[in-house]
Amino acid sequence: MSVIVTDTGFGSDDWQGTFVPLPEAAANDCDYGIDLPSDTAPDALAGFTNAPMIRIDFPSFADGRGFTLAQILRREGFTGRLRARGHVLADQYAMARRSGFDEVEIDETLAARQPEDQWRARADWQAHNYQARLRG
């Protein structure tokens, strides 16, 4: 079972729809979530800004391509729910939020290893970036 992390802490998944892989999705005509692998080409994202949810996979803690995909989607006008799924650390939560993600989906093992308080410590992601510190 997955744990959903938001700025308010841990929660359960309230998404009632299904997810389909990008190659099976119909552009601008879907009522389901779209699963994107981290190696999705940015030009493949055109036409999917009306999806209700997009979930981007993070296969490794060291794979940051999902952050770039999230930024591209938001710049292209995506306003639906954007979820990071997989190997995202609590230390990366602020970056995920700044990149455009609304939530992070982790497994119970990671949630046990990095408890809710570690994630909530990074929930004030807007106030603790390097630009805010420089402006002091």
In a domain? residue 43: yes
Q: How sure is the predictor about 122, in pLDDT bands with cuts at 50, 70 and 90?
A: confident
Average pLDDT over residues 25-43: 87
Task: Give the chain's domain count.
Answer: 1
Q: What is the CATH number of the domain that holds 62?
A: 3.20.20.70
Kindly report the average pLDDT of the chain as a whole number.
Answer: 90
> Comparing 18-22, 27-31, 38-42, 57-61, which segment has the lowest mean pLDDT?
27-31
In a domain? residue 106: yes
Domain with 51, as residue range(s), is 2-126
Q: Which helix (H) or strand (E) holds 107?
A: strand 103-107
In a domain? residue 131: no
Helices (H), 25-120: 65-75, 93-99, 108-113, 116-120
pLDDT of residue 12: 95
pLDDT of residue 80: 94
In a domain? residue 133: no
pLDDT of residue 25: 84
pLDDT in tens, 66-115: 999 999 999 999 999 999 999 999 999 999 999 999 999 999 999 999 99
In a domain? residue 29: yes
In a domain? residue 132: no
Backbone angles phi, psi at 6, to 5 degrees: -130, -175
Contact 49, 27 (CB under 8 A): no
- Look up tokens 């841990």; give the residue: 10
In a domain? residue 40: yes
